[in-house]
A and B are shown apart, each in its own frame.
Chain A
Amino acid sequence: MKKLLVYLKDYKKESILGPSFKLLEVLFELMVPLVVARMIDVGIDGGNKEYIIKMFFVLIALGLTGLISAITAQYFAARAAVGFAKKLRHSLFCHIQSLSFSEIDKIGTSSLITRMTSDINQVQSGVNMTLRLLLRSPFVVFGAMIMAFTIDVKAAWIFVVTIPLLTIVIFGIMLLCIPKYRKVQEKLDKVLEITRENLTGIRVIRAFCREKEEKKEFDKRNEELSVVQKLVGRISGLMNPLTYVMINVAIAILVWQGAIRVNAGVLTQGAVIALYNYMSQILVELIKLANLILNMTKSFACGNRIQAIFEIKPGITKESGNINLQDGSMTDVFVEFKGVHFAYEDSREDALSNISFSVRKGEMIGIIGGTGSGKTSLVHLIPRYYDVTKGEVRINGKNVKDYPLVSLREKVAVVLQKAVLFKGTIRDNLKWGKKDATDEEIYKALTIAQAKDVVEKKEEGLDYVLEQGGKNLSGGQRQRLTIARALLCEPDILILDDSASALDYATDANLRKAIQDMKNRPTTFIVSQRTSSIQNADKIIVLEDGELVGIGKHEQLLNHCKIYQEIYYSQFKKEA
């Protein structure tokens, strides 16, 4: 949590001015009992009517200046808190974006979302309250103590003893609550997770008639959340009553002491009233403070959760290398795998083991193999979505780790298996490939991707608005648009990761032909289940259980590679 405070840096002025004005307000407030004491001692006892009226106006003036200071303080506090939250959200979002695939796999989307939303909101309101009240309360408490000293030193010692005792109680309760609040947020994560799941998987859930079970599961998690919340409530609810009793004990001692000292003629009755008033003020302040502390405790717990995300260092950083992609020695070999091993985190076995092959510029490479044989893992190593565990991947003779990440990824376009599109127009979506793409360029890419008709069928054309995830398009339409998006990048390396699976054969064939006919033909990797998609490739890589079991042209493999034969004949058995 402490580290998060750097985001207040830009609001130094506000964070100082806010509490300062608050102090000013308190100062005026603290003068009130003094003025009243004077009213009683000088005014009533002296029978001075004018003095009383004068003091009345002093009270009003104090109230007015207090009001102005308070409003100023609230303004600065709000500005600082809101600004702080804005900065924090921005940085957290940036940080999440910098995380690599393995970290995202591990944390999970839901948890990231609660941290970005609910946790930050909590911290924001915590900072706001803190700036407004945190300084105020101790100031009132200590101010009251100092004022007590000006009235009577001996009586004031009661304040000196009471205040640390109160502090211990308050902080003790706070320390008890922080871990509980963290638990609350964790349970909230779980509730969020199931909510999201039920939205994304609504079709499957309904198909399996799982509504009741899901409701039951939700109720369970919801109940768990509620139980922890109530537990925290019970502990934190102690704060007010406990401090109330303590203050009343202090008041009793104070009055008793006062009685003794008045009897001895050291104190006046008015002074006892003033002392009593100061103690009451502490009580009032502590009630406010209790609310604040609860809020702060919650914020602390949330802040720590946010901090935890910041502490996850991205496994693959942007600043990795500084070599220009073009700088590499212009060897014949463009992409090269050298003894590559790769395993997912927390996995016992290698997803890929000892893979070596090389590819020339402009070649079309087919990758085929059984389900889970490591095809996707292999291509994900090229743009460094994951890093190899052993061996190296080279582009243009240089290790991929030596290139700056951004320029590497700009040159390598990947069409992922899952065709993801975003809310917005088709044009906006395609421009992800190239920010300043002209319509002409877009149509060119669409034509190659066989997606021109998708756009042309829509009345709005490129301005057709897609819903989240492109839900208002069919799977095949989505796939073609994602291919067009990738082509707009004008990549040196194009990776199609089973991204034509929803296309019919004719479209698929036309797509491949169009890519081959491109002027600056990218080096293309095609991952596919269909032998027809890759049998014309310059090279076909056959994978089985993470190992390379065959590499070569279609005819060669058909003659020599057993696995390839099996795959091929499973699709063309009639001809066999």
Chain B
Amino acid sequence: MEEKRQNNTIKKVLKYVKKYWGLLLFSIVLAFVSVLLSLYIPILVGDTIDEILGMGQVNFIQVKRLLIGSLILAVITALCQWIMNIINNKITFQVIRDMRKEAFAKIQELPLKYVDTHPYGEIVSKIIADVDQFADGLLMGFTQLFTGVVTIIGTLVFMFSIHWKIAIVVVVLTPISLFVARFIAKRTYNMFRVQSEYRGEQTSLIDEMVGNQKVVQAYTQEEEILEKFDDINEKLSEASLKATFFSSLTNPCTRFVNSIVYAAVGLSGALSAMNGGITVGALSCFLSYANQYTKPFNEISGVITELQNAMACATRIFEFIEEENQVLEGAKIIDEADGNVRLSQVCFSYVPEVKLLENFNLSVKPGQRVAIVGPTGCGKTTVINLLMRFYDVNSGTICIEETDIRDMTRRSLRKNFGMVLQETWLKAGTIADNLKMGKPNATDEEMLKAAKASHAHSFIKRLPNGYDTYISEGGGSLSQGQKQLLCIARVMLCLPPMLILDEATSSIDTRTELKIQEAFARLMKGRTSFIVAHRLSTIQEADIILVMKDGNIIEQGDHDSLMKKNGFYANLYNSQFITVQQ
């Protein structure tokens, strides 16, 4: 099972690498050349030593020639190595760039349900930490695996050419180190996975707590959070210790096998030299080969542990990349909707056990203002989630201009809606960047006009750099109301045919709100809008007021008719005067 999963991961990694096969091939050739040369140099040195027999028995001309030859080769080797390093670096960083790119693109394709139900930190940890870890492993793999393999083959050839009997000793003994390495690697793979998981868990906690540091401090919860943090920290460090220690066993173990090989070569070589089967120079050369031959086994085993870790990370990344995408979209494109919206027999719930909307019907004519009111949790926001296709209906249909929204492209659906939510979201960047989000090619005049209409202009111009003021993630020290004004200005700038305001003005004072509404009324002439609000003054002017309770519409009509009805809405409306009468 585990093994199959690993193999799958390797296949997927290879798919990313394939794109760079030309470079890869070149790198392998370079590895081949540099290794062969670096193996040939000891032969030259060995030959040189053979020319240094003893007092008065040194052939200086020959020594000089051989040494210069070895130096030239060394320079060529170094050049090959450097170019190879550059190529390997390039491949690795391009591969992880591609992976990050794909993972990020995935965020844009995921159904909202996934994002709503997974901690941000976990996803972030995959895209940042796991990919980094993977890069480390991959780079090591590239630089050491090829040279390692080539070195093994090369030294084998050379050793056999020098003395085949001793070479056989080496060949028989070295695979032991591979067995040892494999044995350890197999057992450490899971430890790395556990470590990776705890890391994800810790990142989630950090993300959640650091992201809401202000609340933590407001409740002086620092110590409790720290306790929780330490708890995970402890688990992580235990897992980390295990993974680090056991994986680090590989190297000493294989090194031990190597020293056995080395001793065996020494023994058999020395014995054979006594019988004159091999020269002393050749033996010294052989010993250095034995060292060089076993070293890659060592390195490869080191690489294997690193690769284990990398594969564990890659598996997590691929799991994410392969998450199910949101349902395919239709192909119809409506450029500018006329504003007809019809919901018929819509049923929806987030979890099957808890029913929310049932047989929900609504028909909106172009230019109508629809307000949705009702107690919290009655499904108001859900209606908006469905209109925007953040979630899909379980049954029934939602049509715009008589076209089922599932037959349209998401882009064309959403381009027809302008949305302002209670949860203001601004990105790190200048005010202007944020305002132009919906219409990147807007001119500064257009932007200014929208900002003025939404009454954001007066506070923006007081900021240190006006429209070019940089705001950090989450809006920095802007007040909630100011952020809402920016969100409204953002929508006013792109001015879509239909509008959704979900508690969009809840933090804005009523005077400003009135002015904004006037601006909206002017701009939105003939455009359909949906408004969710608690503040009844916000919705009084609506054409249709839907009063919702527990997923159903219980009353429907305009303000006056609903007041006359003296039902739920009238009650709600009158409740705002209770305090006055007290």
Contact = CB atoms under 8 A, between A and B. Distances in A.
A60 B251 contact: no
Interface string A431-462: 01101000000000000000000100100000
B375 A504 contact: yes
Assign chain B's interface to a size class. Answer: 35 or more
B236 to A, nearest CB: 8
Contacts of B23: none
B437 A571 contact: no
A219 interface: yes
B468 to A, nearest CB: 14
Interface string A112-135: 111011100100100010001000
B494 A59 contact: no
B483 to A, nearest CB: 10
A559 to B, nearest CB: 16
Interface in A191-247: 191-211, 213-215, 218-219, 222-223, 225-226, 229-230, 233-234, 237-238, 240-242, 244-245
6 contacts: A59-B259, A199-B120, A226-B97, A269-B52, A503-B534, A535-B579
A532 interface: yes
A423 interface: yes
B485 interface: yes
Interface stretch (B43-51, B331-339, B361-369, B397-405): B43-51
Given A106-B472, A193-B473, A118 B511 contact: no
A55 B266 contact: yes
A475 B473 contact: no
Contacts of B522: none
B97 A422 contact: no
B219 A485 contact: yes
B508 A371 contact: yes
A320 to B, nearest CB: 14
Nearest to B428: A193
Given A83-B237, A113-B207, A200-B120, A506 B572 contact: yes
Contacts of B564: none
A157 interface: no
B581 to A, nearest CB: 10
B473 A571 contact: no
Interface stretch (B14-22, B155-163, B415-423): B415-423
B233 interface: yes
Interface stretch (A44-52, A147-155, A324-332): A44-52
A218 to B, nearest CB: 5
B244 A85 contact: no
Contacts of A204: 419, 421, 425, 487
B266 A78 contact: no
A96 interface: yes
Contacts of A252: 67-68, 70-71
A10 interface: no
A104 B415 CA distance: 35
Contact of A251 (B45, B75, B90): B45
Given A74-B252, A218-B100, A262-B57, 17 more contacts: A63-B262, A64-B256, A67-B256, A113-B124, A121-B133, A199-B123, A208-B438, A230-B89, A233-B90, A263-B52, A371-B479, A433-B219, A498-B507, A505-B536, A505-B572, A532-B580, A570-B511
Nearest to B256: A67
Contacts of B107: 195, 198-199, 202
Contacts, number: 528
Contacts of B425: 200-201, 203-204
A240 B74 CA distance: 12
Assign chain A's interface to a size class. Answer: 35 or more
Nearest to B377: A474
A517 interface: no
Interface in B216-273: 216-222, 224-226, 229-230, 233-234, 236-237, 240-241, 244-245, 248-249, 251-253, 255-256, 259-260, 262-264, 266-267, 270-271, 273
Nearest to B126: A195
Contact of A262 (B58, B78, B264, B473): B58
Contacts of A109: 207, 210-211, 213, 473-474
A63 B264 CA distance: 12
Given A117-B129, A349-B462, A93 B117 contact: no
B97 A71 contact: no
Contacts of A99: 213
Interface stretch (B4-12, B198-206, B341-349, B444-452): B198-206
A409 B220 contact: yes
Given A67-B252, A78-B244, A82-B241, A62 B259 contact: yes
Nearest to B81: A241
B104 A422 contact: no
Interface stretch (A160-168, A172-180, A411-419): A411-419
Contacts of B267: 52-53, 55-56
A86 interface: yes
Nearest to B380: A474
A233 B376 contact: no
A131 to B, nearest CB: 11
B108 A536 contact: no
B70 A117 contact: no
A520 interface: no
Interface in A464-478: 467-469, 471-477
Tell which of A53, A82, A197, A348 has the most Cβ of chain B within 10 Å.
A82
B271 A49 contact: yes
Interface stretch (A272-280, A333-341, A355-363, A391-399): A272-280
B360 interface: no
